[in-house]
Structure 1
Amino acid sequence: MSRWSLLCLAAALTACGEVVIDHAPTSNLLDAETASLETGLGVWTAWYGVTASRASTDAREGEAVLRVEVTEPYGWGVHLDNWPGFAARPGAYRASFWARGTTARSVVAQLKVSWRDSGGEELQARTLSSPVLSGQWVRTALELTAPEGTERMSVEVTGDEGSVGDVIELDALVVQASSPL
């Protein structure tokens, strides 16, 4: 592209005002890094009772996972550090995630999807619970409906069980429109 064309493009874009880049209607509402963990942790952060890290391991998809290591008894959690969450709108969605545990304990991962209004107020929340985790990857999915007034969506993953040293690995986390909105 010539320098003149770039200058014309820049002038045209600035004349349009603020640009908001939104997700394609059927794409994952989570950004690619947060969903896949291929290049970093995205916006995942330890919340309570755990350390959270990106691990290059036998991932379900790609080469990395979100590794959650339990550091305290009586429950654990990770959440997104991007309050009030990712852009969303009312409509039908499918949420899913892959998880596995690296211990022989009865650990279950619960992914909570919260639909929020423009001020960050929670309008509705739904939780997907995995089966008891083992060393094998298991996919958990649920159909959801974001209510009227939805402008943001946030996600957290928690567990009620777990002992110090238990490890949960998460991969391919998705909240995606079921059909074009």
Structure 2
Amino acid sequence: MKRGGWSLLWLAAALTACEPAIIDHSATSNLLDAESASLETGPGAWIAWYGVTASRASTDAREGEAVLRVEVTEPYGWGVHLDNWPGFAASPGVHRASFWVRGMSERSPVAEMRVSWRDASGRELQSDLLSSPVLSSKWVRTARELTAPAGTERMSVAVTGAEGVLGEVIELDVLVVQALSAP
């Protein structure tokens, strides 16, 4: 082998000495995967949780061409959540969570985004809630800085409403949980 080149034996030893690396996202990007955050190519990991149907809809989106359309099917509350237990990779520290939402009915519901911080085993360490203002047909952004506690390794998200009228439609777009600082 030429001087300065790699020997196969040395390369194999170097590669096996390292732990496997798992990279879900860069430290300052959205912790949610692109599809769940933007809904441009599908609904991502979003599913109906209770009292609704949930689907990706091509409509007058806040950004891009699609939204998560949530249609209320039962009274007394509704919810959608990410179906990716125990959630996306996360770290302790300061994060910014935000979402865009609008109501497509005569009523004025409120949407709440719950961010749950979990340890490696999936046990919830803490949850934080972001409540939107009263919804109208205009898009409104709700944002808040959150601090993930020590021991955080995963994060999950749900969006709910305490009230619901049969047939009411809520649209969600650009859902973000972004790390602002490392531990």
TM-score, normalised by the number of residues in structure 2: 0.89
Question: Which of 139, 143, 165 is residue 163 of structure 1 equivalent to?
Answer: 165
Hey, what's the Cα distance between the residues in 2 that align with 1:108 and 1:157? Answer: 10
Residue equivalent to 1:68: 70
Residue equivalent to 2:114: 112
Measure how far apart 1:98 and its partner are: 0.2
Question: Which of 148, 172, 175 is residue 173 of structure 1 equivalent to?
Answer: 175
Unaligned runs of 5+ in 1: 1-7
Question: Which of 98, 120, 133 is residue 135 of structure 2 equivalent to?
Answer: 133
Unaligned runs of 5+ in 2: 1-7
Give aligned pairs, total.
Answer: 172
Segments of 4+ moved more than 4 angstroms: 11-17
Residue equivalent to 1:4: none
Cα deviation digits, residues 123-166 of structure 1 (max 9, x gap): 00010000111100000001100000000000000001110000
**Contact 1:35–1:172, Cα closer than 8 Å, also in 2:** yes
1:1-181 alignment, distance < 5 Å:
15=16, 18-179=20-181
Percent identity reads: 74
Measure how far apart 1:18 and its partner are: 3.3
Bigger-Rg structure (1/2): 2
Cα deviation digits, residues 68-111 of structure 1 (max 9, x gap): 00000000000010001000010000000000000121211000
RMSD over aligned Cα, in angstroms?
1.7
Measure how far apart 1:180 and its partner are: 5.3
**Contact 1:33–1:40, Cα closer than 8 Å, also in 2:** yes
